Amino acid sequence: MDWFRAVLILAIGVLGWNLVYQWNQDYGQGRTVEPTKQTTEYAKSNDISTASLAPNQNQPDKLDTGLIPNKQENPKLANDQTIEPSQLISVETPLYRAKIDLRGGDLIELALRRYPDSVDQPDQPFEMLVKTEQRKFVAESGIIGKNATDLDAASARPMYRAQASTYTLAANQKKLVVPLQYINKQGVEFEKRLVFYPEQYKVDVQFEVQNLSNSSWLGRPYGRLRRTGYADPSEGGGFGLPTFLGVAYWDPEDRFTKVDFGDIDDVDAGQLALKKEVEGGWIAILQHYFVAAWAPNSEQTNLYRASYNDDANLPGGREYVVDSVLPQINIAPSESHTFEQTLYIGPKLQEQLKTVASGLNLVVDYGPLFFISDALIWVLEKIYSVVHNYGVAIILLTVLVKLLLFPISAKGYKSMARMRTMQPKMAELRKRFGEDRQKMSEELMKLYKREGVNPLGGCLPMLVQMPVFLALYWALLESVQLRQAPFVLWIEDLSIMDPYFALPVLMGVSMWFQQKLNPSPPDPMQAQILRYMPIAMTFLFLFFPAGLVLYWLTNNVLSIAQQAFITKRMLAPTSTPAANNE
């Protein structure tokens, strides 16, 4: 029995099944975190309650009702430049187009100027943060505690004052600081500063607190992400299945953990789906190619939480809430203290993510073969820097991979060529032993041994390509660099499927030609299965990203050329037995 063919068929089947299974694991569901009971009605509140945080002996027993901001004008800003509190602040940088709501000083709109919303709308930047009747995704920050800025009700959030309604960061500036001021009834002064950078997708959020009151001040700064459950607007790619949309966080033990929105839905209102105290760390909401993450100081113990709010007034009736809460600080009268944490908000660019927080680059999830994916993307980027076309770069990358694997592939093709020369002898064995499969298998093994042929040798090219194929699969799906990357003619986005299915069909044709170069298996059933394999693989590849299909098509064409050359050489009439055994 030609059993190495069975192994080849099994390998191809496992490849297809593993791709579908892994997609569902990575993008269809998240890792479940055991829900944590919460004694306060957290999910019903709009803001963080001090009662819901990990208590300590200095924390107040209840919220100070005097924290409701007064509406009298801040004396520090009593000048002609003070804008009306009802207005929003507009911020323009080379990377962002953003708006800050003076109620809370929150980022409620943010568009990525270098990432178009779609291929059809190149002038419309992709909206990362948005607040409309249909969608809500905002980044909040504040301070909770006695005489702080935020109460456990949205109406009690502070109304900051600013000296300008528009801030613009020029490309030659190192940074842009947007200062906001607020003074509470106790005389504690707060300056919230949002710091933007020209070439970095991050916003440093600083709180400088000056305690000018007669008593000690207690407070805990927090960062929060609120997102309603609308579909991922950056979604694209294979199988038509949804990409991962949900929460992720880091801690020293698990490093990178996903919590799908569906897992958060499984807990009851008033419970937390996640409550974790971590030294350093970060917490984020992931979309396909983009991420919003709060990253506090890495040298302190921070609290990370995730839950949801149900409200009929919200888009979709539900919002998911993610918190990053810093340690509590006690500030004596006449003293001051500055808190800071970073909000990364933008594309999943590994080099920038690494600089913000340890392990934040893991949100670019390349799966278990990440070390191969990292290497492939690094080489791909180097090639792209020369050719300026990711399609051409993928073709050249495939050539390099083929050259690297040439010795292994050559051995496999030589083994298949030798198998082809053995076809008459194998046919003779079938005539002699007929339906006696056991005897047939024994005689085949003896024949392989006499001829010095490894029956598994022909599987090597396919088996070696599988990890490279899977690694490139994850790399192409996760790399924002390939989002909306054009190739030629109708292929305007290599990260999604070919709209006219031309590449999958060509790939199927190439598989058919390649199959013709291989010896036919002695088992009629195996031969029948292999005959339909190009058709099955074509249908499987129809919904793969065009960049991945381009890789596989190029690999097939190179394999056909290599195999045809080796087979012709091995079957040449002038070939000697010694040459055939090289």
DSSP string, 148-179: -SB-SSGGGS-B-B-S-SEEE--TT-S-EEEE
Comparing 354 with 69, the larger pLDDT belongs to: 354
Most confident range, picked from 75-79, 182-186, 385-389: 385-389
What is the mean predicted confidence (pLDDT) over 319-345?
A: 93
Percent of all residues in the chain with a pLDDT value above 90, rounded to a whole number: 38
Per-residue pLDDT band for 209 (boundaries 50, 70, 90) equals very high
pTM, two decimals, is 0.77
| Confidence at residue 63, expressed as pLDDT on a 0 to 100 scale | 28
Domains of the chain as residue ranges with CATH = 3-22+372-580 (no CATH), 31-365 (2.70.98.90)
pLDDT at 417 over 60: yes
Mean pLDDT over all residues of the chain?
77
pLDDT at 462 over 50: yes
| Confidence at residue 580, expressed as pLDDT on a 0 to 100 scale | 44
What is the mean predicted confidence (pLDDT) over 487-516?
A: 88
| Confidence at residue 61, expressed as pLDDT on a 0 to 100 scale | 30
| Confidence at residue 83, expressed as pLDDT on a 0 to 100 scale | 41
pLDDT at 147 over 50: yes
pLDDT at 408 over 60: yes
Range in 62-66, 274-278, 427-431, 443-447 with the lowest mean pLDDT? 62-66
What long-range pairs does 383-391 form, CB within 8 A, spacing at least 24?
384/481, 389/486, 389/487, 390/481, 390/482, 390/485, 390/486, 390/487, 390/494, 390/547, 391/485, 391/486, 391/487, 391/488, 391/491, 391/494, 391/547, 391/550
Range in 53-57, 83-87, 541-545, 560-564 with the lowest mean pLDDT? 53-57
Q: Read off the pLDDT of residues 52-70 as tens digits, 9 standing for 90 and up.
A: 443 333 333 332 322 223 2
Q: Read off the pLDDT of residues 277-302 as tens digits, 9 standing for 90 and up.
A: 999 999 999 998 999 999 998 889 99
146 within 8 A of 64, measured Cβ to Cβ: yes
| Confidence at residue 421, expressed as pLDDT on a 0 to 100 scale | 66
SS (H, E, C) 63-119: CCHHHCCCCCCCHHHCCCCCCCCCCEEEEECCCEEEEEECECCEEEEEEEEEEEEEC
pLDDT at 539 over 70: yes
Per-residue pLDDT band for 314 (boundaries 50, 70, 90) equals confident
| Confidence at residue 349, expressed as pLDDT on a 0 to 100 scale | 94
Per-residue pLDDT band for 453 (boundaries 50, 70, 90) equals low
Comparing 112 with 475, the larger pLDDT belongs to: 112
φ, ψ for residue 173, nearest 5 deg: -85, 145
pLDDT at 142 over 90: yes
pLDDT at 40 over 70: no
Percent of all residues in the chain with a pLDDT value above 70, rounded to a whole number: 71
Per-residue pLDDT band for 10 (boundaries 50, 70, 90) equals very low
